[in-house]
Amino acid sequence: MNDLGGKVALVTGAARGIGRAVAEVFVREGAAVMIADLPGSDGAATAAALSRAGGQTAFVAADVTQDADGMVAATVERFGRLDILVNNAGVFYPADALTTPFERWLQAVDVIYYGAFHCSRAAASVMVAQGQGGRIVNISSVNAFLGAAQSSHYNTAKGAVDQLTRCLAVEWAPHGILVNSVAPGFVETPMAIVDGVNEHETPDFQEFYVRRRRIPLARPAQPAEIAEVVGFLASPRCTYITGQSIVVDGGLSITF
């Protein structure tokens, strides 16, 4: 298929993991893709690899908490327009609600929630001016609607992203901009590696989530399995879904 031929996409946090998989799907579907990620990330190498594979890609070194306008401007300057934004950049670190200094606690909220807001606003102002609609896809999480210890920063930020999704979907519907989110469960990315250990390979994870099938499909997702859903929501084939959070978790959140 060539669903995204002629479209221009900006994907934040696309140097690796889910963001990179999204960029790969977009390239396969014919879009030009701006990969935005932090200075010092693998973004340039990722863009080069996708270009070698035949994609039209470029890299902008930018922090979603500070450079939202700059990354959107770089995309328009390089590819001439902007049709799709994927707010994917995110961080996780355990944060005890009683003892974590507030500034540290806020860092995850700043990247996940405020970053998504700043990038959405910068992108939508271009989409509105173009007058041809657009697609915004936020990468949320099942954490948006589940509780977990050491996660009040991350989970509330993801919950806010889903609420932002609904509000912007209503506000920007008159402009033909569809806003949705994708909520993964466990995904096999570098984010799963904590202190050098892949948490999906620990005996506890294997026993509880895999052998006892707390995840009914009994495995974490591959990044491509999330990216395919993003690819649909970003495409012109998606015409009547907006303000929704699509859960892609192998059934994790329907079990108890």
- To ligand NAD, the closest distance from the beta carbon of 170 in angstroms equals 23
Residue from 69, 78, 65, 89 nearest 15 by CA: 89
Q: Which stretch binds ligand NAD (CB under 6 A): 78-86, 184-192, 210-218, 228-236?
A: 184-192
| Residue type, position 131, single letter | G
- To ligand NAD, the closest distance from the beta carbon of 87 in angstroms equals 8
Q: Does the footprint of ligand NAD cover residue 229 (CB under 6 A)? A: no
Q: Which stretch binds ligand NAD (CB under 6 A): 57-65, 125-133, 162-170, 240-248?
A: 57-65
Q: Tell me which residues in 99-138 interact with ligand NAD (CB under 6 A).
A: 111, 115
Closer to ligand NAD at the Cβ: 12 or 235?
Answer: 12
Number of residues located near ligand NAD, criterion CB under 6 A: 28
Contacts of residue 48, defined as CB under 8 A and 6 or more positions apart, other chains included, come to none
CA atoms within 13 A on the CB side of 109: 13
Catalytic residue among 113, 154, 209, 240: 154
Q: Which of 50, 64, 68, 247 binds ligand NAD (CB under 6 A)?
A: 64
Q: Does the footprint of ligand NAD cover residue 189 (CB under 6 A)? A: yes
Phi/psi at 120 (5° precision): -65, -45
**Helix residue spans in 33-84 (DSSP H):** 43-52, 68-79
Sign of CA dihedral 113, 116, 117, 119: positive
Q: Contact at 8 Å (CB) between 4 and 30?
A: yes
Q: Does the footprint of ligand NAD cover residue 210 (CB under 6 A)? A: no
List, as one string, the DSSP characters of 111-162. Answer: IIIIHHHHHHHHHHHHHHHHTS-EEEEEE--GGGSS--TTBHHHHHHHHHHH
- The verdict on whether 114 is a catalytic residue reads no
Q: Tell me which residues in 140-169 interact with ligand NAD (CB under 6 A).
A: 141
Sign of CA dihedral 111, 112, 113, 117: positive
Q: Which of 74, 85, 86, 88 binds ligand NAD (CB under 6 A)?
A: 88
| Residue type, position 187, single letter | V
Q: Does the footprint of ligand NAD cover residue 60 (CB under 6 A)? A: no
Q: Which residue has the tokens 């001439």?
A: 80
| Residue type, position 226, single letter | I
Cα–Cα distance measured from residue 242 to residue 161, given in angstroms and rounded to the nearest whole number:
14
Map residues 9-48 to x or -, x wherever contact with ligand NAD holds by CB under 6 A.
Answer: ---xx-xxxxx-----------------xx--x-------
- To ligand NAD, the closest distance from the beta carbon of 151 in angstroms equals 11
Q: Does the footprint of ligand NAD cover residue 233 (CB under 6 A)? A: no
List of residues contacting ligand NAD (CB under 6 A): 12-13, 15-19, 37-38, 41, 63-65, 88-91, 111, 115, 139, 141, 184, 186-187, 189-192
Known catalytic residues are: 154
